[in-house]
Amino acid sequence: MTLPSLARYLPILDWGRRYDRARFTGDAVAAVIVTIMLIPQSLAYALLAGLPPEAGIYASIVPILLYAVFGTSRSLAVGPVAVVSLMTAAAVGEVAASGTAGYAAAALTLALMSGAMLLALGLLRMGFLANFLSHPVIAGFIAASGILIAASQLRHVLGIEAGGHTLPEIAAGLIAHLPETNLATLALGVSATAFLFWVRKGLKPALRRIGLGPRMADIGAKTGPVLAIVATTLAVWFFDLGARGVAIVGAVPQSLPPLTLPALSPELVSQLLVPALLISVIGFVESISVAQTLAAKKRQRIDPDQELIGLGAANLGAAFSGGFPVTGGFARSVVNHDAGAETPAAGAFTALGLALAALFLTPLVHFLPKATLAATIIVAVLGLVDLSILKRAWAFSRADFAAVAVTMALTLTAGVETGVSAGVVTSILVHLYKTSRPHMAVVGRVPGTEHFRNVLRHAVETQPHVLALRVDESLYFPNARFLEDRLAAYAAEKPDLTDVVLMFPAVNEIDLSALESLEAINARLKEAGIRLHLSEVKGPVMDRLKRSHFLDEMTGEVFLSQHEAARRLAKTPPAAPEPARRSA
Amino acid sequence: MTLPSLARYLPILDWGRRYDRARFTGDAVAAVIVTIMLIPQSLAYALLAGLPPEAGIYASIVPILLYAVFGTSRSLAVGPVAVVSLMTAAAVGEVAASGTAGYAAAALTLALMSGAMLLALGLLRMGFLANFLSHPVIAGFIAASGILIAASQLRHVLGIEAGGHTLPEIAAGLIAHLPETNLATLALGVSATAFLFWVRKGLKPALRRIGLGPRMADIGAKTGPVLAIVATTLAVWFFDLGARGVAIVGAVPQSLPPLTLPALSPELVSQLLVPALLISVIGFVESISVAQTLAAKKRQRIDPDQELIGLGAANLGAAFSGGFPVTGGFARSVVNHDAGAETPAAGAFTALGLALAALFLTPLVHFLPKATLAATIIVAVLGLVDLSILKRAWAFSRADFAAVAVTMALTLTAGVETGVSAGVVTSILVHLYKTSRPHMAVVGRVPGTEHFRNVLRHAVETQPHVLALRVDESLYFPNARFLEDRLAAYAAEKPDLTDVVLMFPAVNEIDLSALESLEAINARLKEAGIRLHLSEVKGPVMDRLKRSHFLDEMTGEVFLSQHEAARRLAKTPPAAPEPARRSA
């Protein structure tokens, strides 16, 4: 393998050779800031995924390192994120009880399967598959997931035991256990939530007022959650709130990420197949849109297929080092980018920082109340809940609205997997429905020009014995018969018809169904004594038609332009007899 | 309800008022010929469906009458057909054993459900749903079904007991029971098959030679199977072959169609839901293509939604009169048409003929060997096995070939329902894949003209700071991100770029995903200091874009033509200072 082709799969060979002191400084500063931000976030997302807190830190170390080697984005920060953690909890919760060794092992299996799928899709260059998740479906899914996540964390703020993976289940659990609310937990949880909401809105202006530059104020506000962690941990320790029933993080092992082996029973693998696929696709789509947004700012290029390989490697890393499924996170990547990360080495330095934290700082979070972590999650995910997509979609088209509404309704009431699958199916069906009734216009000549326009919108000239029909859609199986029906109707209505011209400037493709429909149309029109012509056929469509016998069988001609068709099909006045002309 | 609107749902009100003696004669002659042809066919398809022989005749009487009232085709003949009978056997065989009362009741239920679905689709005007069954999928399915049907009938020709719904099962059954072959049955079966093949190829020329006109010779050849029936029945009676183990039709009740009530347990209904839907769709698609082919010859109009109502009524009729699922048959409809049927009254007269046969002729088929019926089926369905679709599809496009191959392979090896469902899914996935990577061309100006063509195919002029990209596909979710990736790549490659023009003459539609991609492209190009323009946007697409804020946010302009875009974006030479010009 030559170096250029190796560099395609190992982007590190490209940027690594140009690494220098200036880049090192930028990367190191970004790494310190991201590390401080990631410690509470990692603990919180582990809680959301139903795993012990250290799993969140482990899931941030090895995956970041592997992404630094294989990924193409200069600023993407990989690790646990809210939506993927929720999906992990939903999937693993189906096969094992939270808190058991089987649960943690199944989370590793999920990361392994997701990593393998991403890697396979990347090596097969099948990143386009992620496109079947349309923007409205993703937006609806993420908004609904945010609501689900926030609702699921309320139990930690209230200090009660309640479960559920859908909104009705969660609401029923909360209502049933509401009398058991722990007031000390509630006080801590509500204070932390209120403080964090203020951090989002008010800390940045406050930091600006005390003289920080806009970029530093922004970064300062992003690391604000650390303040809530420190304050509530101290409160629990000082007032001994653990004894009053406040749930705390407790003992966290002081260790580097352990080498772990995912469970691989055939039964488990088959149960996790669909969830792993959905997690892979959702994670990839989230990650690539963050990466592309940040890359565009520096005119850098993201290779979607190589990104699949990078994320695949990161997830395989998580599977063998005590983590769970990971992907590129929005908030952390933006902080990384804004703090001046120049290369993926920033990620490697962040991994180093987190490894040091895992070794030396874990005793400090012993008294950290789970309510604070829940508050961190609630405030973070409510930022994801953007219901304006419903309004936007409604205004733009009913079809897109249907896809969003189905995705949101089913995600909330039937769970994340059903929701996102139903969204994909709805958007495909809606597309097929729309293209199954293509826009077609009978056209006539705009007087004095060579232009042909819709007879219903313009005052145009038509010939009674010629029907010129412009087809505004590719012809393929869902709409092939529609054209047959329409032409059969026209032929039955117009007794004088002798020629039909199909105008194809907007027909980008013709499949075999459409070809056979055209053949049937040709044969039926022939039976009725009507000739079939085509005009303005595109190159690729013409190439395709030439691969069949249709053009030989067609009763009429293919005209380069509709103008030419109209001119040639005009009823020629009876020519003077040839001999007579010759003798003249 | 006024008469015109009532006439829409009751086409009989239209043709019934113009009925006269000439039409009556044409209809009556056609009815006699079709009746003679239908008697053996009805018995044979009942055998194929696993039902008693009289069910085939009953299934031809009431359905024909109801179709005559509600259908729009003047020549379609409704009744049991080969593929639908096979699908009935496969579906009902899953829920009951052949020959039991439960089996016959389940067949009635299937007809009822299929009728209700067709009626509902017709009343909701959702006939377009049938279009999702692409031509190649139907062709592949019918060819594979023909092979399956012929294979399943071999056991009757051999006189052995063997079952199976897939080719491997059927082959295994035949091989296992081959030693039990009944030689008398085999002799009858092989003779009948050979005779019927000769009828297809040789009888028509023979009839022409004895002086019949071409149309009568054709019709005579179609009624040829009656000769095989008469001869083998006489042979069984005369040589008492029943005692030698030749399976015969036996006692058939002499009766008009009985009033029957389909079984309606929730369990049965849910088990038959998918089969009923597939039977409805396949039956409708077969029927409508026959009806349209025949209608075109007389410039008549077929209304697909009204056809659904007609077929729905026919199936409901079958359910309550001892039948099983029916649809419009190809062979009988062609005979009906060619024999001179003028109106649906021909169908009513055929029903009368079959009712008389059910009352008076059934004792005559007592000694009819099942091997002859099997031979009738084999010869009829082998005419359906047209493997040329594989060759055609391969030559035309690999995508269509994939759909045909998947449909045929799975129909043969996993059964009719799996086969046709997999075919539909494959054709949808193939379409999504194709449109997910749309053709795009960087264009430049053909020197001296206003035409812009692909830079790779033509010697054209380009401007180094302008990228003009023609998009040859509607923009929607499967390809939205593809455009983002391509533009990001161009922007990264071309450092001098200041303007991107997307040329949209072939963009027939833009969905919300594509709109958001355009917004992301606009925002990212803006970050990189590049303006985004559009040119040659179609009316409906422009209307759609105006429903969003995109046009306000777009950094560039919308140009009516690419020529105008190029002219306006050309680097204008520095203008002479205004004051200087004024003073000149």
- Scan for tokens 């000694």, then name that residue: B367
Residues 127-186 of B with CB under 8 A from A: 128, 130-137
* Chain A nearest C-alpha distance from B518 (Å): 12
Does B528 contact A492 at a Cβ distance shorter than 8 Å? no
Cβ count within 10 A of residue B253: 12
Diameter of chain B measured on Cα atoms: 123
Exposed e or buried b per residue across B122-154, where buried means at least 16 C-beta atoms within 10 angstroms of its C-beta: beeeebbbbbbbbbbbbbbbbbbbbbbbbbbbb
Residues B364 and B478 in one domain: no
Tell me what pLDDT residue B518 has: 92
- Scan for tokens 């830079």, then name that residue: B455
pLDDT digits (tens, 9 = 90+) for B273-327: 999 999 998 899 888 878 877 776 776 777 888 899 999 999 999 999 999 999 9
Residues B267 and B394 in one domain: yes
Helix axes A398-414, A388-396, angle to 10 degrees: 150
Chain centroid to CA B262: 27
> Is-contact B54 B322, C-beta < 8 A?
yes
Residues A336 and A454 in one domain: no
Residues 229-258 of B with CB under 8 A from A: none
Mean pLDDT of all residues in chain B? 86
Question: How many residues can be counted in chain A?
Answer: 584
* Chain A nearest C-alpha distance from B43 (Å): 33
Q: Is B394 on the interface with A (CB under 8 A)?
A: no
The reply to whether B10 falls in a domain is: no
Residues A462 and A382 in one domain: no
Q: What contacts 24+ positions apart, CB below 8 Å, involve B150-153? A: B150/B377, B150/B378, B150/B381, B150/B382, B150/B385, B152/B48, B152/B86, B152/B89, B153/B48, B153/B374, B153/B375, B153/B377, B153/B378
Q: What is the DSSP string of A292-313?
A: HHHHHHTT----HHHHHHHHHH
Residues A108 and A177 in one domain: yes
Does B301 contact A438 at a Cβ distance shorter than 8 Å? no
The reply to whether A467 falls in a domain is: yes
Distance of alpha carbon A533 from alpha carbon B277, whole angstroms: 38
Kindly report the backbone phi and psi dihedral angles of residue B532, in degrees, each rounded to the nearest multiple of 5, phi listed first. Answer: -115, 130
Residues 477-496 of A with CB under 8 A from B: 477-482, 484-485, 488-489, 491-492
Q: Is B397 on the interface with A (CB under 8 A)?
A: yes
Mean pLDDT of all residues in chain A? 86
Distance of alpha carbon A510 from alpha carbon A480, whole angstroms: 9
Query: Which of A137, A478, A505 has its CB closest to that of B132?
Result: A478
Q: Report, as an integer, the average pLDDT of B358-365.
A: 87
Give the pLDDT band of residue A252 (cuts 50, 70, 90): confident
Query: Which of B301, B399, B547 has its CB closest to that of A396?
Result: B547
Give the pLDDT band of residue A4 (cuts 50, 70, 90): low
* Strands of B440-445's sheet in order across: B452-454, B440-445, B466-471, B499-503, B531-535, B558-559
Does A131 contact B296 at a Cβ distance shorter than 8 Å? no
For residue B325, give every residue at least 6 positions away whose Cβ sits within 8 Å of its Cβ, in sequence order, or none.
Answer: B80, B84, B85, B87, B88, B107, B110, B111, B114, B279, B283, B315, B318
Q: Report, as an integer, the average pLDDT of B525-530.
A: 88
Amino acid at A350: T
Q: What is the DSSP string of A106-143?
A: HHHHHHHHHHHHHHHHHHTT-GGGGGGS-HHHHHHHHH
> Three-state SS for A461?
strand
Residues B360 and B463 in one domain: no
pLDDT digits (tens, 9 = 90+) for A469-507: 999 888 988 888 788 888 888 877 888 889 999 998 888
- Scan for tokens 């391969």, then name that residue: B394
Residue B335 reports pLDDT greater than 90: no
Tell me what pLDDT residue A299 has: 65
Highest mean pLDDT pick, A121-130, A216-225, A575-584, B541-550: B541-550
Q: Which of B504, B491, B487 is nearest to B545 (CA)?
A: B504
Q: Report, as an integer, the average pLDDT of A533-557.
A: 89
Residues A492 and A558 in one domain: yes
Q: List, in sequence order, every residue forming a beta bridge with A443; answer none if it has no partner.
A: A454
* Strands of A499-503's sheet in order across: A452-454, A440-445, A466-471, A499-503, A531-535, A558-559
| Closest chain A residue to the Cα of B134, Cα to Cα | A477
**Greater model confidence, B36 or B233:** B233
A31 vs A27, A76, A506, A525, B489, CA distance in Å?
Answer: 6, 12, 52, 72, 28
Residue B77 reports pLDDT greater than 80: yes
Q: Report, as an integer, the average pLDDT of A511-522.
A: 89
Residues 41-100 of B with CB under 8 A from A: none
Q: Report, as an integer, the average pLDDT of A131-148.
A: 85
Share of chain B above pLDDT 70, in %: 96
The reply to whether B411 falls in a domain is: no
Q: Is B273 on the interface with A (CB under 8 A)?
A: no
Tell me what pLDDT residue A308 has: 93
Q: Is B295 on the interface with A (CB under 8 A)?
A: yes
Q: Is B337 on the interface with A (CB under 8 A)?
A: no
Q: List, in sequence order, every residue forming a beta bridge with A475; answer none if it has no partner.
A: A510
Residues A184 and A62 in one domain: yes
Q: Report, as an integer, the average pLDDT of B61-89.
A: 90
Beta strands in A26-83 (DSSP E): 78-79
DSSP character for B92? Answer: H
Question: How many residues can be counted in chain B?
Answer: 584
Q: Which of B206, B209, B181 is nearest to B195 (CA)?
A: B206
Residues A391 and A465 in one domain: no
The reply to whether A78 falls in a domain is: yes
Cβ contacts of A287 on chain B, cutoff 8 Å: none
> Three-state SS for A510?
strand
Where in the sequence is the domain holding B304, given as residue range(s)?
A: 22-404
Highest mean pLDDT pick, A34-48, A110-124, B360-374: A110-124
Q: List, in sequence order, every residue forming a beta bridge with A441; answer none if it has no partner.
A: A470
What pTM was computed for the model?
0.75
Tell me what pLDDT residue A351 has: 92
Distance of alpha carbon B110 from alpha carbon B316, whole angstroms: 10
The reply to whether A14 falls in a domain is: yes
Residues B286 and B387 in one domain: yes
Q: Which two tokens stand for residue A74?
A: 């200069």
Q: Which two tokens stand for residue A346?
A: 């920033």
Distance of alpha carbon A264 from alpha carbon B215, whole angstroms: 71
Distance of alpha carbon A505 from alpha carbon A534, whole angstroms: 10
- Scan for tokens 């998740």, then name that residue: A133
Tell me what pLDDT residue B5 has: 63
Tell me what pLDDT residue B574 has: 38
> Is-contact B11 B291, C-beta < 8 A?
no
Residues B399 and B448 in one domain: no
> Is-contact A53 A358, C-beta < 8 A?
no
pLDDT digits (tens, 9 = 90+) for A294-345: 776 776 777 888 899 999 999 999 999 999 999 998 778 887 887 778 888 8
Tell me what pLDDT residue B316 has: 95
- Scan for tokens 């070939």, then name that residue: B401
Residues B103 and B161 in one domain: yes
For residue B73, give every residue at least 6 positions away whose Cβ sits within 8 Å of its Cβ, in sequence order, or none.
Answer: B291, B294, B295, B300, B302, B307, B310, B328, B333, B344
Tell me what pLDDT residue A5 has: 64
* Chain A nearest C-alpha distance from B398 (Å): 10
The reply to whether B449 falls in a domain is: yes
Q: Is A202 on the interface with B (CB under 8 A)?
A: no
The reply to whether A582 falls in a domain is: no
The reply to whether B2 falls in a domain is: no
Does B396 contact A548 at a Cβ distance shorter than 8 Å? yes
Tell me what pLDDT residue B580 has: 38
Domain total of chain A: 2
Element at A468 (helix H, strand E): strand A466-471
Q: Is B438 on the interface with A (CB under 8 A)?
A: yes
What value of ipTM does the predicted structure carry? 0.73
